[in-house]
Amino acid sequence: MAKSIKKKPAAKPVAAKKMVTAKKSKPGTPKVGTLKAGKPKPDKKVAKASVKQRSLAAILPADPSVIDRLWSVVLSRRNANPATSHSARLLSRGVAKVAQKFGEEAVEAVIEAVAGNREALIGESADVLYHLLVLWVAAEISPEDVWAELRRREGVSGIAEKAARALPVALRPNTSKIP
């Protein structure tokens, strides 16, 4: 008896695999692969960082203490490798360059405010605060120094405070709010 040979069913056509190509990027920035169709394929490291950031955002309060925490992070990056840390790269350029970058970010915030672009202003404001903290680290100023100055000015009229600055230190009155 002859064995009957069963034909294997024809394989379903397989979609051609899309080739992944790497985008050219600036040194020190994460590479993100893209499919030829143009859809981004997230880098695993970037995706893990995003999850970590979302986790921290859920744990840490969104209040003024974020400034102290961010200052601590920037301070810790002062001696880090400039190739791997944006803060270290900025700090390695010196106070003048950090101040210039802070000024650029402040101008961008002003532009968004004048344009009435609320969401962009929020983002630019975060950039301004970050670059201000980098400037503080570069100039060896701590947030406590600034908080103490703000406490000193609390309850003092801005007009009286500015007028007092024009006087020699010995003649400056201990001013309070002007009605």
**Tens digits of residue pLDDT in 17-29:** 444 444 444 444 4
Q: Which residue has the higher pLDDT, 8 or 91?
A: 91
C-alpha distance across the termini of the chain, in Å: 115
In whole angstroms, what is the distance from residue 129 CA to residue 119 CA?
A: 16
3-state secondary structure the chain: CCCCCCCCCCCCCCCCCCCEEECCCCCCCCCCEEECCCCEECCHHHHHHHHHHHHHHHHCCCCCHHHHHHHHHHHHCCCCCCCCCHHHHHHHCCHHHHHHHHHHHHHHHHHHHHHCCHHHHHHHHHHHHHHHHHHHHHCCCCHHHHHHHHHHHCCCCHHHHHHHHHCCHHHCCCCCCCC
108, 124 contact by CB (below 8 A): yes
Residue 65's pLDDT is 86
Share of the chain above pLDDT 70, in %: 59
Residue 172's pLDDT is 64
| Mean per-residue pLDDT of the chain | 76
62-140: CATH class: mainly alpha
In whole angstroms, what is the distance from residue 3 CA to residue 7 CA?
A: 12
Read off the pLDDT of residues 110-168 as tens digits, 9 standing for 90 and up.
999 999 999 999 999 999 999 999 999 999 999 999 999 999 988 887 787 777 777 77
> CATH 1.10.287.1080 in the chain, residues?
62-140
Read off the pLDDT of residues 96-114 as tens digits, 9 standing for 90 and up.
999 999 999 999 999 999 9
Residue 19's pLDDT is 41
Residue 63's pLDDT is 80
In whole angstroms, what is the distance from residue 131 CA to residue 103 CA?
A: 9
